Amino acid sequence: MPTNEPTVVQTIGLTKIFKDFWHRDRVVAVDKLDLNIHRNQVFGLLGPNGSGKTTTIKMLLGLLYPTRGRINVLGRAPTDVAIKSRIGYLPEESYLYRFLDARETLDYYARLFQIPRQDRRRRVEQLLEMVGLTREARRRVGEYSKGMARRIGLAQALINDPDLLILDEPTTGLDPVGTKEIKDLINFLNRQKQKTILLCSHLLADVEDVCQQVTVLYGGRQQAVGNIRELLSQKNLTQITTERLSDAAIDRICKLVAEEESKRVVSVSTPSDKLETFFLRIVKRAQEARQQTSGVTAGGRIAEFLATDASQQRPEAVVDSLIAAAESVKTTTEEPESTIPPEEPAKDVIDELLTTTQTTDSDESADMDQAASEAVTDQPDQGDREFIDRLIKGSDKENDDDKE
């Protein structure tokens, strides 16, 4: 896809060869990979297990040194500490401290980014609500189901309001409702907050729904790259969808196609729903029925501190977002929401963790800079927001069943 947006991530001939104890080449995990990820793109790194996705991501983050090739992330080398505060990372495996609860976990990461106390509290509460964990915020994350751990992981990746979000298998282990929520969130962060997102996954349907650009890896090598619609479109076919037609009308159309274009109608069928759409519709109906009886209140509001890059906005967009911000203030004041002041997290434990991490060079988060930009409020797309609201509202309970 031709784009004028500047490049956020670029690799040239990126190669990683893991060696064995005797320094013999053992595995070529990534082989001469060329990537170009532009600003405001959702880019998918696809491939089966072991195809080199995580290794690529770790090299982009400066967690692994490449054997060969060049990397540029946000205009710098990946090891440059100046870019750390502009990147959010959801690792494939959770690095969460089992004995901290969700609020303490987010507070801990916010402190690594040296976010001031007041701002920290605000961000933590907004993120907890956004990922639907406010009610579970006092449980230790070690007790969390896989789905809940993915959500808190995503909240952690957003705490510094990053420009570039790197998500390693964001939907693995989530049920279809959780998957849909994450996909909606990715779309929201990209469309409304202008975030650049690199995600890797082996789940093709997930990638198809959110990515504009993809690369398919196999055995560490790039097998295909391009715009997802272009890659998937069957250019030799035309599809017309109409309301249901009679057999007689179909016959006449087939004749017309033959006469006008000397072509044949390849198939006539009733389109079927994706299983995902069907499943979500059923769950939604069941949730609505339950809400009517239990009067559950809404959750899942998008975290307002997540800034839109104001410098990139056109003047009319700035005006729009100011109006939206004013409206959002209005709506928040209208809602009789009980704001329980967040309890000061287990301070001693966090202090101790911070001291240990800061003395460990190898921890990539330890030397991260002051967190980026101040908040510019922005109103989420109403459709997205309502949908996320409804899903999160009902899915908290479901997640209890989703324990490993």
Ligand X SMILES: Nc1ncnc2c1ncn2[C@@H]1O[C@H](COP(=O)(O)OP(=O)(O)O)[C@@H](O)[C@H]1O
Interface residues toward ligand X, by CB under 6 A: 18, 27, 29, 47, 49-55
Compute the distance between CA of residue 312 and CA of residue 5 in angstroms, rounded to an integer: 11
Compute the distance between CA of residue 220 and CA of residue 27 in angstroms, rounded to an integer: 10
Give the one entry of ligand X, Mg ion, none that residue 195 binds, where binding means its C-beta sits below a cut-off of 5 to 8 angstroms depending on kind: none
Compute the distance between CA of residue 43 and CA of residue 226 in angstroms, rounded to an integer: 10
Stretch that binds Mg ion, among 15-23, 50-58, 243-251, 266-274 (CB under 5 A): 50-58
**CB 23 to ligand X: min, Å:** 13
Nearer to ligand X, 54 or 399 (CB): 54
Which element (helix H / strand E) includes 396?
helix 382-398
**CB 49 to ligand X: min, Å:** 4
Number of shown-chain residues binding Mg ion (CB under 5 A): 3
Q: Is 54 in the site for Mg ion (CB under 5 A)?
A: yes
Q: Is 171 in the site for Mg ion (CB under 5 A)?
A: no
Crossing angle of helices 102-112 and 347-359, rounded to 10°: 40
HEC assignment per residue over 137-163: CCCEHHHCCHHHHHHHHHHHHHCCCCC
Phi, psi at 136, each rounded to 5°: -100, 10
Of 81, 118, 60, nearest to 358 by C-alpha is 81
Q: Which of residues 76-105 bind Mg ion (CB under 5 A)?
A: 92
Q: Is 56 in the site for Mg ion (CB under 5 A)?
A: no
**CB 364 to ligand X: min, Å:** 16
Stretch that binds Mg ion, among 33-41, 54-62, 126-134, 375-383 (CB under 5 A): 54-62
What is the number of the residue whose Cβ is closest to Mg ion?
54
**CB 172 to Mg ion: min, Å:** 9
**CB 20 to ligand X: min, Å:** 8
Compute the distance between CA of residue 164 and CA of residue 158 in angstroms, rounded to an integer: 10
Binding site for Mg ion (CB under 5 A): 53-54, 92
